[in-house]
């Protein structure tokens, strides 16, 4: 017998469903009401009640009808906003009007590129030969998965001689990659396939005869907390049956290689070295464990491993050339310094400092034939330094105030290629030449014919609760706030030491043309000022993340840039903590809230497949203090019964492998059931998308149109108000 309330699925008017009033014309359709089945849990002296715990089970018979009903309701409401359709048309023109090149690799005599042609949905893989002609190797735009869902390229890597490419692809943004090999000369796909190849790309042997590839354990169960644990790094030789591949590294395989269950083993060879590295990558941590051995010994199945460093040594970056291993060390220098060790006699204690710590945090390093390149951070904008072969350290002058989105180098070639972008500079692929000490635009990624001169970016500082100065950037048309506060979509992230670097999304122009503005807050938990900034917004100090966000919003309001009645805040993925707790802390400060595939129920991540890998970032619920921190950052548990919250749109994708859909679903159900909640609460659900990685251009355009239309609607912008 069950006493649970029957789920009212479907999007039609439902007797007994709680009314969420906001426009008379929208009252004819209501969201489905979730069944209430409270689960009371006590842990470490903290008692919580979860009325929607059942949503954690995607096989629950009520889940799919509920998700479909919520999705239909949200779709109806968003499509009723008068200006939304025109907004999406404009966004589509901005996003798809010009060909875009995302990644490149120089290998042999070939240049490989991932290209999204003008108007295309997804990227394809092309090769440019020595004659300069380009041809398509792989085009997912011409492929379909089961039920007609789209296919995306998740990762790829060309062999050093340029003769082969190994790639991973998956359906519907699921990131469930299957690896395959293409022969470049004729475009033929070889017979070998590699299931569960989620942690690409593959890393090739210097002689191009095979590659190392990490794959999930064949005992992995999708959806379980153990799903990503005990993965295996295999050596595959071309033409070999994958069943005969060599197990090179995994948990428990070797006593010296003391990998943990959650560490992902990756073998990293170098084209100019007889050594290779074994990396232990622990979930989302920047710190890595490293072992070294001769490449010949690894290939023969008899490596003599030497441990270089453990997680506690705080090594956050590496580069290998010959017998020299370069490491970014943050143990004694939180902003990072570069040390070098000789792998002939490897000992971290005898490491030689080659790049001292400075005021600018070191974010990454890479080797080219002319020296070592060091990527640095300066409060958002990024820069570059170069250590020449003769030991001379110099600063490289950037072409503009830029964000560095990728670096492509090769130990056999001088200089580097970089993907650069600015707040109001189009993204492009630039080449740095050490011979001339200058950058030049390669022209590989065409510049859109879009005039950016009507727009501007300005950087401000807000004072946080503890007095810390928090930077934020506002992007707008030059006259946006001339007549008073403007509709604003504010964004923050604040996790994993990821920085708020300059970048431009052309889709923003559509909302700015309607008088809207954008704000991006560099809250603590990110990496804008290095490890200290990150540690100040992590676990026990996570509250700084959402308090910094609130401070930036308050500062904008004080400057007259926007107002509480015109301000919508947004957080994506881990940024869901920032946006959700800002909402529950200061519900009076915002007109709207967008939680995009966000972590809204952090205290329960232990039950989802991506949970254990995130324990180092947010906390382990089996540890008392860390569980208290998780409850403190849990938006869902911090919703109060007697509060009226702003309008909310939670966004989720049914195939999301990183943040389970129940996060947004629980929050939506909780808010919709509140007695004082009169403003709309929407749960936007798509069933052929995941976390956003692998989404098609049209899917991204549609979501952007929804977010921008929602923001303008809640700000009262003319032309975006549903008719009464």
326 shares a domain with 190? no
Q: Which residues pair with 572 in a beta bridge?
A: 596
Same domain, 681 and 567: yes
Q: What angle do CA 342, 345, 348 make, to 5 degrees?
A: 70
Q: Is the pLDDT of residue 15 over 60?
A: no
**Quick check: is 64 in a domain?**
yes
Nearest alpha carbon to residue 162 among 112, 236, 235: 112
For residue 585, with 0-12 CB atoms within 10 Å meaning exposed, 13-18 middle and 19 or more buried, which class applies? middle
Say if CB 18 and CB 8 are below 8 A apart. no
Question: What pLDDT score does 1 carry?
Answer: 30
- Give the pLDDT score at 27: 45
Where do the DSSP E strands lie in 337-468? 337-342, 352-355, 362-368, 371-377, 382-388, 393-396, 403-408, 416-422, 425-433, 438-441, 455-463
Pairing of strands 352-355, 337-342: antiparallel
Structural domain tally of the chain? 3
pLDDT of residue 724: 65
Domain presence at residue 377: no
Higher per-residue confidence, 88 vs 144:
88
pLDDT in tens, 376-424: 999 999 999 999 999 999 999 999 999 999 999 999 999 999 999 999 9
Could you tell me the pLDDT band of residue 39, with boundaries at 50, 70 and 90? very high
pLDDT tens digits, 603-639: 999 999 999 999 999 999 999 999 999 999 999 999 9
**Residue 512 counted as domain residue:** yes
The CATH number linked to 155 is: 2.130.10.120
Domain assignment of residue 126, yes or no? yes
Phi, psi (degrees; rounded to nearest 5) at 228:
-90, 0
Tell which of 215, 250, 285 closes a domain.
250
Long-range contacts formed by 126-133: CB under 8 A, 24+ apart: 127/162, 127/184
Domain limits at 523? Answer: 24-93+470-714
Residue 550 has pLDDT above 90, yes or no: yes
Instruction: Please check whether residues 134 and 164 belong to one and the same domain.
Output: yes
Give me the chain's average pLDDT, please: 94
Mean pLDDT of 694-705: 97
Q: Are β-strands 647-653 and 39-43 bridged in parallel, bridged antiparallel, or unpaired?
A: unpaired
Does residue 553 share a domain with residue 481? yes
Q: Taking 50 as the threshold, does the pLDDT of residue 46 lie above it?
A: yes
Q: How many CA atoms lie within 13 A of 588 on its CB side?
A: 1
Are residues 243 and 129 located together in one domain of the fold?
Answer: yes
pTM of the model: 0.94
257-302: per-residue pLDDT in tens? 999 999 999 999 999 999 999 999 988 899 999 999 999 999 999 9
State the pLDDT confidence band at 471, using cuts at 50, 70 and 90. Answer: very high
What is the distance between the alpha carbons of residues 311 and 289, in angstroms, rounded to a whole number? 5
4 domain-assigned: no
**Residue 14 pLDDT > 60:** no
pLDDT at 687: 94
Please state the rounded mean pLDDT for residues 191-196.
97
Give the number of other CB atoms < 10 A from CB of residue 233: 25
Q: For residue 104, what pLDDT is reported? A: 96
Query: Are 71 and 170 within one domain?
Result: no
Query: 231, 250, 269: which is the final residue of a domain?
Result: 250
Strands (DSSP E) along 52-163, which ranges?
100-107, 110-116, 124-128, 134-138, 151-158
Q: Does residue 13 carry a pLDDT above 50?
A: no
- Mark whether 497 and 622 lie in a shared domain: yes
* Statement to judge: residues 659 and 676 lie in one domain: yes
Q: How confident is the model at residue 20 (pLDDT cuts 50, 70, 90)?
A: very low
Beta-carbon contacts of 553 under 8 Å, excluding residues fewer than 6 positions away, are 490, 519, 521, 567, 569, 582, 589, 590
Q: How confident is the model at residue 56 (pLDDT cuts 50, 70, 90)?
A: very high
Residues 246 and 262 in one domain: no
| Shared-domain flag, residues 74 and 170 | no
pLDDT reading at 453 higher than 60: yes
pLDDT tens string 210-244: 999 999 999 999 999 999 999 999 999 999 999 99
Distance CA 567, CA 419 (A): 32
Region 360-369: mean pLDDT is: 96
Same domain, 349 and 211: no
Has residue 207 been placed in a domain?
yes
- Averaged pLDDT, 72-78: 97
Token pair belonging to 130: 């020595």
Percent of the chain exceeding pLDDT 70 equals 96
Q: Residue 22: is its pLDDT beyond 90?
A: no
Predicted pLDDT at 292: 98
| CATH code of the domain in which 515 resides | 3.40.50.1820
Q: Check residue 147 and give its pLDDT.
A: 85
More confident: 14 or 22: 22
For residue 411, being part of any structural domain is answered with no
Q: Are residues 47 and 169 in the same domain?
A: no
What Cα–Cα distance (Å) separates residue 327 from each residue in 294, 321, 372? Answer: 19, 12, 11
Residue 372 maps to a domain: no
Task: Give the end of a domain, one of 301, 333, 357.
Answer: 357
- Whether residue 718 has pLDDT greater than 90: yes
């Amino acid at each position: 017998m069950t006493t649970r309330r029957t789920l009212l699925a479907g999007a039609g008017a439902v007797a007994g469903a709680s009314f969420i009033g906001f426009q008379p014309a929208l009252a004819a359709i209501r969201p489905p009401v979730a069944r209430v089945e409270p689960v009371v849990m006590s842990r470490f002296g903290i008692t919580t009640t979860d009325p929607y715990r059942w949503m954690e089970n995607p096989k629950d018979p009520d889940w799919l009808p509920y998700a479909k009903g919520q999705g239909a309701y949200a779709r109806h409401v968003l499509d009723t906003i008068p200006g939304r359709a025109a907004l999406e048309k404009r966004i589509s023109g901005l996003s798809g009007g010009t060909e875009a090149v995302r990644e490149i690799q120089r290998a042999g005599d070939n240049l490989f590129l991932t290209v999204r042609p003008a108007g295309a949905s997804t990227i394809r893989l092309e090769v440019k030969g020595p004659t300069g002609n380009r041809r398509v190797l792989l085009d997912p735009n011409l492929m379909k998965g089961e039920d007609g869902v789209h296919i995306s390229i998740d990762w790829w890597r060309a062999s050093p001689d340029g003769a082969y490419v190994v790639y991973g692809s998956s359906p519907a943004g699921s990131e469930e990659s299957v690896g395959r090999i293409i022969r470049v000369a004729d475009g033929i796909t070889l017979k070998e396939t590699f299931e569960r190849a989620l942690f690409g790309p593959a890393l090739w042997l210097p002689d191009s005869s095979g590659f190392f590839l990490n794959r999930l354990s064949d005992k992995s169960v999708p959806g379980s907390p153990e799903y990503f644990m005990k993965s295996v790094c295999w050596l595959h030789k071309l033409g070999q049956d994958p069943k005969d591949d060599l197990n090179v590294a995994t948990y428990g395989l070797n006593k010296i290689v003391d990998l943990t269950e959650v560490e992902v083993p990756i073998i990293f060879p170098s084209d100019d070295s007889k050594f290779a590295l074994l990396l232990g990558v622990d979930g989302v941590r920047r710190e890595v464990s490293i072992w070294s051995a001769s490449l010949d010994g690894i290939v023969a199945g008899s490596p003599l491993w030497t441990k270089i460093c453990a997680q506690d040594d705080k090594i956050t970056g590496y580069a290998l050339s010959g017998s020299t291993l370069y490491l970014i060390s943050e143990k004694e220098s939180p902003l990072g310094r570069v040390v070098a060790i000789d792998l002939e006699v490897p000992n971290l204690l005898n490491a030689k400092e080659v790049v001292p710590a400075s005021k600018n945090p070191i974010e990454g390093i890479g080797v080219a034939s002319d020296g070592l390149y060091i990527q640095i951070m300066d409060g958002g904008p990024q820069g570059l330094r170069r250590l020449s072969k003769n030991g001379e350290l110099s600063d490289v002058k950037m072409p503009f105030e830029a964000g560095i989105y990728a670096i492509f180098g090769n130990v056999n070639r001088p200089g580097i290629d970089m993907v650069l972008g600015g707040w109001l500079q189009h993204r492009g692929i630039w080449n740095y030449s050490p011979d001339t000490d200058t950058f030049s635009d390669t022209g590989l990624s065409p510049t859109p014919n879009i005039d950016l001169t009507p727009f501007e970016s300005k950087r401000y500082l807000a004072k946080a609760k503890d007095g810390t100065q928090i930077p934020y950037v506002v992007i707008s048309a030059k006259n946006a706030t001339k007549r008073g506060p403007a509709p604003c979509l504010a964004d923050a992230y604040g996790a994993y030491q990821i920085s708020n670097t300059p970048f431009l999304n052309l889709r923003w122009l559509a909302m700015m043309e309607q008088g809207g503005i954008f704000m991006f807050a560099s809250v603590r938990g990110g990496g804008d000022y290095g490890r200290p900034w990150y540690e100040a917004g992590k676990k026990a100090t996570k509250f700084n993340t959402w308090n910094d966000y609130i401070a930036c919003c308050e500062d904008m309001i004080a400057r007259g840039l926007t107002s509480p009645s015109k301000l919508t805040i947004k957080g994506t993925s881990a940024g869901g903590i920032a946006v959700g707790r800002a909402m529950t802390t200061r519900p009076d400060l915002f007109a709207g809230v967008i939680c995009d595939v966000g972590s809204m129920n952090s205290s329960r991540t232990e039950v989802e497949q991506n949970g254990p890998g995130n324990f180092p970032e947010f906390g382990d619920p089996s540890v008392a203090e860390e569980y208290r921190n998780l409850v403190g950052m849990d938006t869902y548990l911090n919703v109060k019964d007697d509060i009226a919250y702003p309008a909310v749109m939670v966004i989720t994708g049914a195939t999301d492998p990183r943040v389970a859909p129940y996060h947004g679903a629980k929050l939506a159900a909780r808010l919709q059931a509140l007695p004082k909640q009169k403003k709309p609460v929407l749960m936007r659900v798509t069933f052929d998308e995941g976390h956003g990685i692998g989404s098609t251009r049209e899917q991204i355009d549609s979501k952007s149109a929804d977010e921008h239309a929602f923001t303008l609607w809640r700000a009262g912008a003319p032309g975006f108000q549903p008719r009464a």
